[in-house]
Amino acid sequence: MRTTGRVVFALVAAGALLVSGCSSDGERPEERAPDVDASDGSTTTEPPDAPPLEPLSEDIPEALLPYYEQDLNWGACGHSEFQCAVLQVPLDYENPDAADDIQLAVTRSRATDSGERIGALLMNPGGPGVSAVDFAQGSAAYLFPSEVRARYDMVGLDPRGTGGSEPVDCLDGPAMDQHSLTDRTPDDDAEVAELIASNETFTQGCQENAGRLLEHVSTIESARDMDVLRQVLGDDRLHYVGFSYGTKLGAVYAGLFPSRVGRLVLDAAMDPRLDTLSTDRQQAGGFETAFRSFAEDCTARDDCPLGQDGADGASERLLDFYAQVDAEPLPTGEDRPLTESLANTGVAYALYAEHLWPTLREALTAAVEDGDGAQLLRLADEYNGRGPGGEYATDMFAFRAISCLDSPAGNADADAVREQLASYQEASPTFGADFAWDTLLCAAWPVEPSGGPVSIEAAGADDILVVGTTRDPATPYAWAEGLADQLSSGVLLTYDGDGHTAYGGTSACVDAAVNDYLLAHTTPEEGTTC
């Protein structure tokens, strides 16, 4: 799945333009990715059937008391207003053993008005796999207005297996380069074999480098880590803002600890009831919706490299370009050519935010018209977390480790992919095949999944604010509707627009509603659309 918090970080740093305007007439925007049935790709409005996530006991088990009662040793960590510490948690909550404990990185900046302090505000940028510590230190001052920062400690906790919290590491730079060059839309048996071999190399590297940690990086365990931190920070309730995958983490927390829910904002929401096939296929549809929005804008311009025939013509031309690059990768000025898979990744990355559309037009112009793949390669590298020296961030490794542990693989082998391929391509002619074949990586995962789809009611929790964007590529709007519907206290705020996530500079209307919720604990009227 292509959700990533790195894009949220980039959006905040770029300072996207504000768009104002709100309504609360109860009408839902019609333009969004469709629900897609898990069996045949047809659209459906029926909520998926998933077992409920049962809350944990409100009493803290005696074996876990040392973790809940620990003191953090805060110290300076390179950012003048931030402190850093290490939180100790059990590797396995069901069998805690101090010899196996893991250490999680935490950062905070204190509320600037201590007399009006509400509490700590945890944040998670998604992925899964993106560092919440880096996000808090790099984005809190831009994302949250001074009024919010005055009344909350800004807190980032790197989930287990990510960032500074014993990160999962799988491949070195050259090996990851080779993995990213592998054709993800194989055309014959030989290419299928190459893809499977590449996946096996990736998963073996994860197992060799991460060991037992691979069995204990689930979202449920990370949610339990957040509850330990809540207590250690001295708060009776958890206040939290999560983006993309961070919405799943926040929702799982609410399901496990409903009585400890404070003010939770879940922006660019995921629907935890969906199985892997439904999630991937609907996400492919989300990217298709986002691409068509970009294409309509692009093809209205005389210099659009995808022609002037609207979204349908642009999609056909892009697929023709992919076929050409598949047959003959483009030069990039370095020893890594632009392959079809890297081109697809570069295009998908730029669809996360409307302000990246001009960059995508330029990159496609250079590639389609001039045969120069350098700019699309840079976009793909940004998504993949590849640094200028060839090193990779650990985001993508943690992304796979958490995703494959949280839910069983959608397709077990190549034959299963071939059976599902048509439904993926129906959901997204432009991206469907890539999403379909990508499901094979979890099929090769060396650890059995510990989770699966769940329905989260969080009965008894305070109001939870869910934010959905109608043309979000990575987390389709239908997911926000689904999460708000299943949460007993869920309140949906809709942003009618483009891009991944809405809070933090995209819409003045959304920002005002979220800030009112955080400061006054007031939710927008039912049906509010910005």
3-state secondary structure 135-192: HHHHHHHHHCCHHHHHHEEEEEECCCCCCCCCCCCCCCHHHHHHHHHCCCCCCCHHHH
In sequence order, the 6+-apart residues with CB closer than 8 A to the CB of 352 are 4, 7, 11, 290, 473, 474, 499, 500
CA proximity to 487, closest of 125, 46, 52: 52
Catalytic member of 271, 472, 496, 498: 472
- Alpha-carbon gap, residue 88 to 84, rounded angstroms: 13
Q: Is 244 annotated in the active site? A: yes
Q: Is 500 annotated in the active site? A: yes
CA proximity to 435, closest of 329, 293, 264, 278: 278
Q: Is 146 annotated in the active site? A: no
In sequence order, the 6+-apart residues with CB closer than 8 A to the CB of 506 are 11, 16, 18, 19, 495, 497, 499
3-state secondary structure 322-391: HHHHHHCCECCCCCCCECHHHHHHHHHHHCCCHHHHHHHHHHHHHHHHHCCCHHHHHHHHHHHCECCCCC
The DSSP letter of residue 392 is B
490-498 sheet: strands from edge to edge = 75-76, 83-89, 102-109, 152-157, 119-124, 238-243, 261-267, 464-471, 490-498
- Alpha-carbon gap, residue 377 to 339, rounded angstroms: 9
How far is the CA of 488 from the CAs of 456, 458, 483, in angstroms? 8, 6, 10
Catalytic member of 225, 500, 507, 511: 500
Helix and strand numbers (H, E) in the chain are: 20, 9
With beta carbons less than 8 A apart as the criterion, state whether 267 and 243 touch.
Answer: yes
With beta carbons less than 8 A apart as the criterion, state whether 159 and 132 touch.
Answer: yes
Catalytic member of 139, 180, 198, 244: 244
Cα 456-458-463 angle, rounded to 5 deg: 120
- Alpha-carbon gap, residue 483 to 468, rounded angstroms: 10
- Alpha-carbon gap, residue 387 to 506, rounded angstroms: 27
- Alpha-carbon gap, residue 503 to 523, rounded angstroms: 15
Q: Check whether the bond before 128 is cis (ω within 30° of 0).
A: yes
Say whether 45 sits in a helix, a strand or coil. Answer: coil
Find the radius of gyration of the CA atoms of the chain: 22
With beta carbons less than 8 A apart as the criterion, state whether 106 and 86 touch.
Answer: yes
Catalytic positions, please?
244, 472, 500
